[in-house]
Chains A and B, each alone.
Chain A
């Protein structure tokens, strides 16, 4: 019952606050409620009123009304802190799973000072910052992400409790842009099938490779009898059983080089290798299911490879997804992982 209410409330909020990288806060999307201290303050005002009534003390009446009116004025002030503030997602960070990814926002305040604005999401907070009227400020919040792929925080809460901390006004930003989370690099247990060190492609071929067939995606020119049709029927992917041990080339980092290893772990191994090769400057290519990146060097290449590793098998979240974001993403990844490792 409570859970259902919560879901309904979240849906309502999500409808009210569409996904956008640039959010302007106004009374349409600002929520305001007393904090715990505010509730206690209300009770205190009631006690004071009763004291005033009982002792027929006009000055206590006066003080009570004064504080009550200030509470209302504070409501206005707290709301005004946020109203007119424009928050734009300038840049999403990139990083590895398990790290904190910075999200850079630019805050531009309206005609009033935006005082003591804080951002928070899932227990990560950015301490309060002040944006004087008609000025801009940069705000960066670092969010932890545990899973590779696209990372798009469902909501980032923007909150202010100024001036008295008796009331809080808040709203959310629901960014469209995603951060990309690379797999967490894990050093591979052994050098992956480096059969020869030579750079000649012909010498790289090995007969020993016959022992274990490795799998790679179908390429043009592959004979159709080598396609694993059972696998195709199951996963819809044309995979070739490669008997020639092509994967042993040091030029190629191969997804299929780690048989029997869980998919995410494989990607972690590959990530570590990509990083290592990126550091050493050696040229390398990346062979992933359904995707080949030709050998190259340089940071752009490394970044491209990392990105491919990050989003392998993961769809980019759609902009108009009305369901909470997190559930959807984890669902697809798990599905894929199960299918592949079987």
Chain B
């Protein structure tokens, strides 16, 4: 393969590394930094292998070990690749591709002998930084990645001038200056470069499970989620935030009970996978509208408040008033929704086509719950009363809301309702739906999030994984689907204040996430700091990471000129051209300006230029007095001025120190401008009087 081909051409063999040690160190350091963002998707043995191989290369540099010969190297490659293939086991996902990439870099260390290999590694590592951006787009990962690229660029400087003193500081300084000079161009390009549609559709679903709600619900599931303070999404509102108890974010509906597990009764309808604009919705938020900036879920679910309609076109309306993307959200997606007036959305008040579907129950199990349902049914006059009766039972009896529910292996609903009476939202939602169905009321479990804490200055809501929630919707004649939340009856704090307060007595909130700032809600400074960090991240996500087609078009529509994609292309070309022009002009100007900080040298070079312009070429090695004499001979009018100027030059360089330098410089400046006038006037006369060939260059 390619690696062995490079070995043949690199030529140098044995123990003679021709690369400067420090350059190699920078490369290795950059590799180490670039591995950090990959830590959660790389198998540990791969990381260890890479460290060993890079360490081997470094040790070989200092002569302590030899680089492996051809056979050993081939052996190592075979072993590593075999282990890799063994661990992958045919599952080919983005993760395995990324880890193969890392593996190739690791093996390349044994091959790094010449400058050429160094450049090969440089290119691969730059692309590794690119790959890292696919997986992590938070600001700190971005900073880390850019830092690694900086290490690479400093390493290249070391490679190209290994004996330059003070390489490290001057390398960074030089790089910094370059960045500073080109930053305006980079920003302009970033803003104006046309964000085209993807050339081909490439869903990038990771094989790794992401933290988040799933499409099945077992009684214990959501309590696991409650241990995570990862962000699920952020929501920005066009008006004030809705009350806490109204923050029900619907995600998906589970309507089929399979033993203990709730599932989706119907497969998600097939949708042709298409492009998902990652930045839906442009312009200011109107009243009633809200933006959701969803973290990647690898699912097609778009979370929305009840009674919402889609505004941006990157979400689709699905059945049951849910919303879906055209393809799994593999990167963060922003979409815009609108809260509709309640009566408008009641399109489904008519009896559902298939009520039977929402009455499905396993044929047996949980007999006591079924008995309870029959009792309620017998005593209540309507469906509504059945629902209310069960809620009062939850409210009045000793039911506990806990993150540490006991195991309920057999007849879970019965055990929960009559024996243990301790559970989490998933337990109660499942049990309530079971009872309602047994009582003949169409009902379903809704999974999503409930709550969300305001971010810094209440700009937006942050909804985290521990806000995951499950509740019930029942179909009531004349009212349609109505939300019923057993958790609200058992632990009102959960719905009014959030999980932290609901389980405050138990002390189980984020008990395993000791590093999460959310765990220490009572430390105001920490909360403040964490919210500020989140705000920076939010702005980063919103304006830098999320700056794609729609945002660009929105921005352009605000600028005069109304630029479309084509105009943006022209603008980009213009920017690049302008940048090159400026760079050229700057370097030309620097050379022409004779580049001196010494004012005397500058004055003399101005004088020389004046002479050249006036048709008196300056000869090499000519003294000022000689030049002045020639000026006098060519243009008698300027004779005296030129002589005085030459005298002052000599006085500056050979005279005593006592003469005030600035005085003489000012005098010289005056002389120079006088001379300029004299020469111009003189040359004007000369031109009209006789056509001097010497003037032709002027």
Q: Tell me the A residues contacting B by CB distance below 8 Å.
A: 26-27, 37, 40-41, 44, 47-48, 50-63, 65-70, 72-77, 79-80, 83-84, 110-112, 115-116, 128, 130, 161-166
The answer to whether B190 and A62 have CB atoms under 8 Å apart is yes
Given A40-B123, A69-B185, A165-B159, the answer on whether A77 and B591 have CB atoms closer than 8 Å is no
Task: Return the 5 tightest CB-CB contacts between A and B, nearest first.
Answer: A69-B182, A73-B178, A111-B595, A59-B133, A116-B161
| Min CB–CB distance A106 → chain B (angstroms) | 16
B199 nearest CB neighbor, chain A only: A54
6 contacts between A and B (CB under 8 A): A53-B195, A54-B200, A75-B583, A111-B597, A165-B159, A165-B160
Given A27-B588, A41-B123, A55-B202, the answer on whether A165 and B178 have CB atoms closer than 8 Å is no
Given A27-B591, A55-B198, A116-B160, the answer on whether A67 and B126 have CB atoms closer than 8 Å is yes
Tell yes or no: B547 within 8 A of A by CB.
yes
In this complex, the member of A73, A75, A77, A84 whose beta carbon has the largest number of chain B beta carbons within 10 angstroms is A73
CA distance A259 to B146 in the complex (A): 77
The answer to whether B127 and A70 have CB atoms under 8 Å apart is no
| Contacting residue for A56 out of B119, B161, B331, B544, CB 8 A | B331
In this complex, the member of B126, B145, B182, B588 whose beta carbon has the largest number of chain A beta carbons within 10 angstroms is B182
B584 nearest CB neighbor, chain A only: A27
The answer to whether A84 and B547 have CB atoms under 8 Å apart is no
The answer to whether A61 and B190 have CB atoms under 8 Å apart is yes
Tell yes or no: B257 within 8 A of A by CB.
no
* Chain A residues closer than 8 Å to B546, beta-carbon distance: 58
| Min CB–CB distance B567 → chain A (angstroms) | 18
CA distance A54 to B193 in the complex (A): 14
Q: Given A51-B130, A54-B199, 7 more contacts at CB 8 Å? A: A63-B146, A65-B189, A65-B190, A70-B175, A72-B583, A110-B595, A165-B156
CA distance A308 to B175 in the complex (A): 56
Tell yes or no: B72 within 8 A of A by CB.
no
| Min CB–CB distance B187 → chain A (angstroms) | 9
Given A37-B119, A56-B198, the answer on whether A63 and B130 have CB atoms closer than 8 Å is yes
| Min CB–CB distance B23 → chain A (angstroms) | 11
| Contacting residue for A70 out of B182, B193, B200, B583, CB 8 A | B182
Given A59-B137, A128-B161, the answer on whether A26 and B591 have CB atoms closer than 8 Å is yes
| Contacting residue for B193 out of A27, A56, A65, CB 8 A | A65
The answer to whether B178 and A59 have CB atoms under 8 Å apart is no
At the interface, is chain B mostly helix, strand, loop or mixed? helix
The answer to whether A76 and B198 have CB atoms under 8 Å apart is no
| Contacting residue for B587 out of A41, A58, A68, A83, CB 8 A | A83
* Chain B residues closer than 8 Å to A62, beta-carbon distance: 186, 190, 544
The answer to whether B586 and A76 have CB atoms under 8 Å apart is yes
Tell yes or no: B316 within 8 A of A by CB.
no
CA distance A58 to B550 in the complex (A): 13
| Min CB–CB distance B335 → chain A (angstroms) | 14
Tell yes or no: B157 within 8 A of A by CB.
yes
* Chain A residues closer than 8 Å to B196, beta-carbon distance: 53
Tell yes or no: B134 within 8 A of A by CB.
yes
* Chain A residues closer than 8 Å to B199, beta-carbon distance: 50, 53-54
Given A27-B587, A162-B157, the answer on whether A56 and B548 have CB atoms closer than 8 Å is yes
State the interface size on chain B (CB cutoff 8 A).
62
Q: Which of B157-184 contact A (CB under 8 A)?
A: 157, 159-161, 163-164, 171, 174-175, 178-179, 181-183
Tell yes or no: B129 within 8 A of A by CB.
yes
Tell yes or no: B205 within 8 A of A by CB.
no
Tell yes or no: B77 within 8 A of A by CB.
no
CA distance A67 to B546 in the complex (A): 21
The answer to whether B545 and A58 have CB atoms under 8 Å apart is yes
Given A55-B204, A163-B156, the answer on whether A48 and B130 have CB atoms closer than 8 Å is yes
Number of A-B contacts (CB under 8 A): 156
Tell yes or no: B278 within 8 A of A by CB.
yes
| Contacting residue for B545 out of A37, A59, A65, A74, CB 8 A | A59
| Min CB–CB distance B604 → chain A (angstroms) | 15
* Chain A residues closer than 8 Å to B189, beta-carbon distance: 65, 68-69
* Chain B residues closer than 8 Å to A83, beta-carbon distance: 587, 590-591
CA distance A60 to B129 in the complex (A): 9
Tell yes or no: B580 within 8 A of A by CB.
yes
| Min CB–CB distance A160 → chain B (angstroms) | 9
Tell yes or no: B35 within 8 A of A by CB.
no
The answer to whether B587 and A164 have CB atoms under 8 Å apart is no
* Chain A residues closer than 8 Å to B127, beta-carbon distance: 44, 47-48
CA distance A41 to B123 in the complex (A): 7
* Chain B residues closer than 8 Å to A112, beta-carbon distance: 595
The answer to whether B160 and A55 have CB atoms under 8 Å apart is no
* Chain A residues closer than 8 Å to B544, beta-carbon distance: 58-59, 62
The answer to whether B156 and A164 have CB atoms under 8 Å apart is yes
Given A53-B198, A60-B133, A83-B590, the answer on whether A73 and B160 have CB atoms closer than 8 Å is no
Tell yes or no: B349 within 8 A of A by CB.
no
The answer to whether A44 and B142 have CB atoms under 8 Å apart is no
The answer to whether A57 and B186 have CB atoms under 8 Å apart is no
In this complex, the member of B156, B160, B200, B583 whose beta carbon has the largest number of chain A beta carbons within 10 angstroms is B160
The answer to whether A162 and B160 have CB atoms under 8 Å apart is yes
CA distance A185 to B157 in the complex (A): 46
* Chain A residues closer than 8 Å to B175, beta-carbon distance: 70
Tell yes or no: B153 within 8 A of A by CB.
yes
* Chain A residues closer than 8 Å to B134, beta-carbon distance: 51, 55, 57, 60
| Min CB–CB distance A36 → chain B (angstroms) | 9
* Chain B residues closer than 8 Å to A47, beta-carbon distance: 127
CA distance A162 to B591 in the complex (A): 19
Tell yes or no: B596 within 8 A of A by CB.
yes
Tell yes or no: B149 within 8 A of A by CB.
yes
Given A47-B127, A70-B179, A165-B159, the answer on whether A80 and B587 have CB atoms closer than 8 Å is yes
The answer to whether B591 and A84 have CB atoms under 8 Å apart is yes
B545 nearest CB neighbor, chain A only: A58
| Contacting residue for B590 out of A48, A73, A74, A80, CB 8 A | A80
The answer to whether B161 and A65 have CB atoms under 8 Å apart is no
CA distance A40 to B174 in the complex (A): 23
B183 nearest CB neighbor, chain A only: A69
| Contacting residue for B596 out of A44, A50, A67, A111, CB 8 A | A111
The answer to whether A76 and B583 have CB atoms under 8 Å apart is yes
Tell yes or no: B282 within 8 A of A by CB.
no
B154 nearest CB neighbor, chain A only: A163
* Chain A residues closer than 8 Å to B178, beta-carbon distance: 70, 73-74, 77
The answer to whether B278 and A63 have CB atoms under 8 Å apart is no
CA distance A165 to B331 in the complex (A): 36
CA distance A103 to B171 in the complex (A): 32
Tell yes or no: B579 within 8 A of A by CB.
yes
| Contacting residue for B202 out of A37, A54, A66, A115, CB 8 A | A54
* Chain B residues closer than 8 Å to A130, beta-carbon distance: 161, 163-164
- Residue-by-residue, is B316-340 near A (CB-CB < 8 Å gives 1, otherwise 0)? 0000000000000001000000000
CA distance A75 to B156 in the complex (A): 15
| Contacting residue for B153 out of A70, A75, A161, A162, CB 8 A | A70
B180 nearest CB neighbor, chain A only: A73
The answer to whether A63 and B595 have CB atoms under 8 Å apart is no
| Min CB–CB distance B561 → chain A (angstroms) | 22
* Chain B residues closer than 8 Å to A115, beta-carbon distance: 161, 164
| Min CB–CB distance A293 → chain B (angstroms) | 35
CA distance A83 to B592 in the complex (A): 10
B592 nearest CB neighbor, chain A only: A26
The answer to whether B160 and A164 have CB atoms under 8 Å apart is yes
| Contacting residue for B133 out of A53, A57, A69, CB 8 A | A57
The answer to whether A76 and B185 have CB atoms under 8 Å apart is no
